[in-house]
Amino acid sequence: MTRRWLAPDFFTDEKMKRATVPERLLAAAIIANQDDDGRLRGDPAYLRSIAFLYDGYSLDEVREMRDHLAKINPNIHVYQNDGDDYIQLKRYKRYQRPRYYHPSKFPVPPGWPLEEESNQAVTTQQPQSHQIVTEKQPLSDQEVTLGEGKGKGLDLDKGRGIGRGTKHTPSPVGLALLENFPKAFGREPDSRERAYLRDIEKEISAAGATAEQVHDAYKEAAGQNKLSLSYVRAILLDWLGIERNRSP
């Protein structure tokens, strides 16, 4: 199974303050065991096996925890199909970016596609490994002029025969890598770091990274006081499930 990403804000989510500690553990197990469409079996016996293998909770207790989670957290949707229970995570695309998509073997919930809390419809089209998937639309009218030391975006075409003054629309991931650098590190990147940012942008874009994940990676690096691009890259590769044997 593809490794799943548990967002740091899971632990500070206001909705989860009404959940007990065992319920939070169950919620984490649900996130960790979802498939590429955000679904998993929802029967108490299965949930007990993935969350409380070494504990003595009864099936009724696990069912109560599951139903309470669904009540306080709209992201967790419990539904039935032919007498079996299933769970659909509505915001699975916001955080999970499988490198190789495998369709769910579980039935879709009634009323599919469902909507997220933001009333943004969840689509059934799956991201390809070479696509950039974002929560926001790219700024199609935003262009930067590339040149020596000029422009705010990543000069991805530098050194490829494109002359000075060429217009280039940076990707959302490229913009996020560059714009979050001074916010996290307190300074602008130098020329060597800009080149490294271009390499990281290519690597993580191919795996379907989002601008939001880039922002969160910088935030975590700053929180750990590890102001290094290699550490930011390592965080992103872990979240995307990519082996990081060497630098790009």
Domain spans in the chain, listed from the N-terminal domain onward: 1-126, 144-240
Quote the CA–CA distance of 61 and 192 in Å, as a whole number: 56
The CB density around residue 215, as the number of other CB atoms within 10 Å, is: 16
Sheet holding 39-41, edge to edge: 39-41, 84-89, 76-81
Whether the link from the prior residue into 248 is cis, omega within 30° of 0, is no
Confidence band for 3, pLDDT divided at 50, 70 and 90: low
CA distance 51 to 48: 5
Judged by DSSP in three states, 115 sits in strand
- In this predicted model, which residue has the larger pLDDT, 151 or 200? 200
- What length does the chain have? 248
Cβ-proximal residues to 246 (8 Å cutoff; 6+ apart), any chain? none
* pLDDT of residue 42 exceeding 70: yes
Structure-model confidence comparison of residues 95 and 201, the more confident one:
201
| Phi–psi pair at 168, nearest 5 degrees | -145, 130
Could you tell me which CATH number the domain at 1-126 has?
A: 1.10.10
pTM over 0.75: no
pLDDT range class, residue 212, cuts 50, 70, 90: confident
Q: What is the C-alpha separation between 150 and 144, in angstroms, rounded?
A: 9
Please give the pLDDT value at position 110.
85
**Residue 117: CB partners within 8 Å, gap ≥ 6?**
74, 75, 90, 91
DSSP code, position 186: S
Q: Would you state the structure tokens that stand for residue 114, as one six-digit string?
A: 């469902």
* Rounded-to-integer distance, Cα 176 and Cα 11, Å: 24
H or E segment to which residue 65 belongs: helix 59-72
In this prediction, residues 237-248 reach a mean pLDDT of 69
pLDDT range class, residue 25, cuts 50, 70, 90: very high
Contact 114, 90 (CB under 8 A): yes
Indicate whether 80 pLDDT > 70: yes
What pLDDT is attached to residue 139? 41
Q: Which residue has the higher pLDDT, 94 or 104?
A: 104
How far apart CA 29 and CA 206 sit, in angstroms, is 28
Confidence of residue 241 (pLDDT cuts 50, 70, 90): confident
Q: Are 237 and 206 in contact (CB under 8 A)?
A: no
